[in-house]
Structures are given as structure tokens and as C-alpha cells.
Amino acid sequence: MLRIVKPKTKRAKRELEKRAPKLEENTKKLLLLHGTKVSSVLRGVLADLFHLRKAEGRALKYSKKNDGVRPFEGGGETSLEFLSQKTDCSQFAFGSHSKKRPHNLVLGRMFDYHVYDMIEVGVERYKSLESLGGGKKASPQPGSKPCFAFIGEAFEARPEFRHLKELLVDLFRGEVIETLNLQGLDRVFLCTAAGDKVLFRHCAIRLKKSGSKVPRIELVEVGPSMDMVIRRHREPSDNLKKEAMRIMPKTTKKKVKNVSGDPLVGKVGRIYMPKQDVGEMALAKMKGLKRERREAAAARAVAADSGTEAAPSNSPKKQRTE
């Protein structure tokens, strides 16, 4: 188990926050591993997968032999889970070669650093990226959003094919975007279900002029291309699936009242004033009007006195004011 490290620097804290669970998650990272024995075919496959996913650091390739990793076997997943936690990778591609399972590729996903689901395919008729000329002219831009085309009834009818379809889409789809620039449509992953195999191809899209607004599509095969024979697969348990597919209920944003906006005026707010009786209110003293206030008070006193008494009391006051 990895010990829980408390960050000592702000940078470390930021890195940990990047890895923390969030509502809207980061794009998944792919971990590519070599097993005990790896054939040259598989080596090429893993290298090509790495090439496809390495944009923005979303893939990690460990080329050293990993004897401890044995997916589909009881204790063989602990090593995988440890590596996944260490590298923060939630997808893995494990390649191994044996007599019983030649050119074996295991593609899988993790949930909470435990194996969620995986599928084992055998690779046949592999053509690498380089051999198909995926290097130069026709090659799509690295990190561009791909299209997917799935052909075949099996992708709907058979569970292992359906599983592979989900996995492949999750593997290659990249970032989830809201706006797409249509000129940037430059790659497509094609999967055809033919018999028991899935023919996996990767093509670059060329947009050619056509008479209408919609351009004519031309596909140029760039690597990698392989035929996948589905061997074993493990789907997630119902509970795990339910947990992993959970979406937080969208909190409706609190309606902001009494605020309106205008590009001309800017942000305008409304304030509701209570009824104010200025005569009754305790206002600030105005020192400048002290003399006037005194005179007014005196005049008022005079008016009151003249109604009741004679003048004598008035004269001293009058002298004072003069």
C-alpha cells in the first residue's frame, strides 16, 4: 500500500489536488505495460498505442518486464493496482506472449484504483503506424478528437463485442469537448465485426470539395491496423457499475434576484428602500447651522412666552443674540 503523503510544498499540494476525485474528472491516463514475455508484434502495438495517446501526457509506457502482473488471475492484479495508484492511470494495456495465448493484449479500466473491467484480445495481422505511412503527410494531428465507426451486428448482440466497443471508445475518445471545429475532423477509428474478430483500423480523414456545404470524405489508412480476436473478458459487477456510473444530481444554480445587466450600462442592481420619514429620523448634526438653530429655538421660545407672560424675560436673550 502506498503511504499517505502530506504535501510539504504548495506545488505538491497542487499536484495532489489534480489527482483528487472531482465532479468533472480529468481525461483518463493510459498505462502501457510489458509482461513476462513480449513478442515484437506486441511491442509494436504498445508503442503505437502510446504514440496515439501520448498527447498532453495522457499515456505512460513501462517497458520493463512485469512478472507480477497477471490479469484474470486471483492475486495477479495487486501489482497492477499499485502501479495504477502510483501513476494515477485509470486505463491500462498489458501485453504478453505465450504459447497458449500468443500476442495477447489485455485492455482494462480502473475504478478507485481497483480493476473495474478488462478484455483480453489476441492481435493478428498487425501493421504498424510506420509501415502504413502514418508518419508524415496524411497523418492526423496528435491529440485531435477522433470519430468512431462501428460496423456489425455483433456490437449490439454479443456482450463481449459490446464490451470491447465501450472500452475502445473510452480509450481513444480523449477529452470531452463541447465545441468542435469541423476543419479539425481528421481521424477516425474503424471497427468491423467480422465473424469472431474485430478488424481495427485507424484512418485519417481528408475533406474534399464537393458541390454542397458538406465536404466529401476520403479515408487514408494510417497505422496501426490489427485484427483482434476476443479471448476472455470480465465485466464489472452490478454494484461496482452502479457506483462508477453515478452522476451527481445537477444543483440548480440559485436564482440571482434584483440584478440585471446591460452591455451599455454594465451590471445594474435594484435596492428596495423602506419608507423613511425624514422629519422623524435621527440625522447628523450640522455644526454650520448652529447659529441659525439657536436663533430659531429662541424665536420659538419667544413665540411661546408671548402667549403666556410679558416681555422682561426676553430682553437678556435679545441682547445676547445681538
Residues of the shown chain interacting with another protein in the complex, contacts defined by CB under 8 A? 4, 20-23, 25, 28, 90, 109-112, 116, 145-156, 166, 169-170, 173, 176-185, 188, 190, 192-194, 199, 201, 203, 205, 207, 213-219, 221, 236, 241, 243-248
Min dist. Cβ of residue 91 to another protein (A): 8
Q: Which is nearer to another protein, 181 or 308 (CB)?
A: 181
Contact 167, 119 (CB under 8 A): yes
Say which residues have a Cβ less than 8 Å from residue 143's Cβ, sequence separation at least 6.
55, 56, 174
Min dist. Cβ of residue 212 to another protein (A): 9
Q: Which is nearer to another protein, 38 or 52 (CB)?
A: 52
Q: Would you tell me how many other CB atoms lie within 10 Å of the CB of residue 116?
A: 20
DSSP result, 237-289: PHHHHHHHT--PPPPPPPPPPSEEEETTTEEEE--PPPP--TTTS-PPP-GGG
Min dist. Cβ of residue 273 to another protein (A): 42
Q: Which is nearer to another protein, 90 or 96 (CB)?
A: 90
Q: Which is nearer to another protein, 250 or 270 (CB)?
A: 250
Min dist. Cβ of residue 153 to another protein (A): 5
How many whole angstroms separate alpha carbon 71 and alpha carbon 306?
111
Min dist. Cβ of residue 236 to another protein (A): 7
Q: Which is nearer to another protein, 4 or 256 (CB)?
A: 4
